[in-house]
Amino acid sequence: MAEDQKTLREQSCAKLHEVETPKKWLKKKHEQNAEFIWKGKQDQKNSSCSSDVDDKSNVWITQNRSTGSVGDADYISWLSEHPSALSCFKEIMNAARGKSIVVFLDYDGTLSPIVSDPDRAFMSNPMRSAVQEVSRHFPTAIISGRSRSKVYEFVKLKEVLYAGSHGMDIMAPPQQANSSYAVKYQTRTIDENDQEFVTFQPAQEFLPEIEKMLKKLEKKTCQIEGVVIEDNRFCISVHYRHVKEQDYEILEKQVEKVLKEYPKFHMTRGKKVLEIRPSIKWNKGHALEYLMETLGFTSRSPKEKDDVVPLYIGDDKTDEDAFKVLKSRGAGFPIIVTSKPRETAASYSLRDPTEVLSFLIRMSRWKSAHYY
């Protein structure tokens, strides 16, 4: 396509990719970069892939432009390395044209907003429809830190594959993975609809200890107001969003006391949550690779592998393992969901679940338009 025929959004994306200058220079240029981003967003309103969600994004940008929050120098500098997946939508889809796209999604903070009560992290009906439509066009899996049953309870889509407990509990197609590690933990299952699938649970041996730890954590933290302990089957989440700030340290010490009794487990920190997991070499990146294999996308010839494009959207620190896998493959699109600059292996970004919804809608429309 000739330069004079490029859309403003493509120009924006190209500019963002070209910026590889010192931070001082970037700060001088942040207003110019911000203008590209604002114009790119406005251009979405008139594009053939636009939606009501795009209009909401434009309103948000207009409201915040005067406050300087969108034009913040640090965020704009960060965007130069991790441009908006919406602004770069055509670039992404052009790179994927003629290839098999496989979609991987986190749940909390990606398909649903982060909420104060983890049991009320409901997915909106428009988001459910968007995920369902995407799954009709592309193999789609949700990889979450929640228990697999809980994620399914929220999503309620049979067209989607589910991996819970940060990938330690996977429902996969009946084509089993061939590695010795995978075979050891795979079980063929028939569901209530007589459909065959495989469950993969590499942390089965830890279930008795997890049950004991859960009871001890509940006992140790019951005096701390606002604590919510969530049983995610193969991991435990200690939520402290409602805990008083002065009690944070007390809570963490109590959790660490319990953890010392279980040396085969470790703790990580998320958004107002402490995660306790078995210390095994398995994470969301491994789950992505396992699902790719069971979907039949990794047992191909080198040439055929180049024809597969995984796309992963997530907001959590644990999603970084999946981003790194895509980086190591040298193919695919890792997309982080965040409204603040942060260190990440992702190549692109989306601000929040509203932008995720917009991106998924545009993916389906792009596929329906038969752009191969």
Question: With the CA atoms of 182, 188, 189 and 195 taken in that order, what torsion angle do they form, in degrees rounded to the nearest 10?
Answer: 110
| 3-state SS class at 56 | helix
Which tens digit of pLDDT belongs to each residue from 125-160?
999 999 999 999 999 999 999 999 999 999 999 999
> Which contiguous run of DSSP H or E holds residue 172?
strand 169-172
Cα(326)–Cα(240) distance, integer angstroms: 32
| 3-state SS class at 6 | coil
Asked if 142 contacts 102 with a C-beta cutoff of 8 angstroms, the reply is no
Which residues have C-beta within 8 Å of that of residue 300, sequence separation ≥ 6?
A: 307, 308
Give me 54's structure tokens: 């795009």
Q: Which parts of the chain fold into alpha helices (H)?
A: 8-18, 23-46, 52-65, 73-81, 89-96, 125-137, 148-155, 180-184, 207-221, 248-260, 284-294, 302-305, 320-329, 353-368
Confidence band, pLDDT 50/70/90 cuts, at residue 307: confident
Does position 314 have pLDDT exceeding 60, yes or no? yes
- State the pLDDT at residue 176: 61
Q: By C-alpha distance, which of 272, 275, 281, 277 is closest to 247?
A: 272
In the DSSP assignment, the letter for residue 317 is G
Q: By C-alpha distance, which of 366, 349, 269, 365 is closest to 315?
A: 349
- State the pLDDT at residue 304: 58
Average pLDDT over residues 215-238: 96
Average pLDDT over residues 48-59: 41
Cα dist. 359→14, 18, 78, 229, 351 in Å? 19, 23, 20, 33, 11
Which tens digit of pLDDT belongs to each residue from 258-293?
999 999 999 999 889 999 999 999 999 999 999 998
Confidence band, pLDDT 50/70/90 cuts, at residue 370: low
Cα(119)–Cα(43) distance, integer angstroms: 38
Does position 236 have pLDDT exceeding 60, yes or no? yes
Cα(77)–Cα(83) distance, integer angstroms: 10
Axis crossing angle, helix 125-137 with helix 353-368, rounded to the nearest 10? 40
Does position 13 have pLDDT exceeding 70, yes or no? no
Cα(370)–Cα(372) distance, integer angstroms: 6
Q: By C-alpha distance, which of 303, 346, 325, 312 is closest to 143?
A: 312
Does position 111 have pLDDT exceeding 70, yes or no? yes
Predicted structure pTM score: 0.80
Average pLDDT over residues 72-93: 92
What DSSP line would sit under 34-53, residue for residue? HHHHHHHHHHHHHSTT--HH
Confidence band, pLDDT 50/70/90 cuts, at residue 300: low
Mean residue pLDDT across the chain: 82
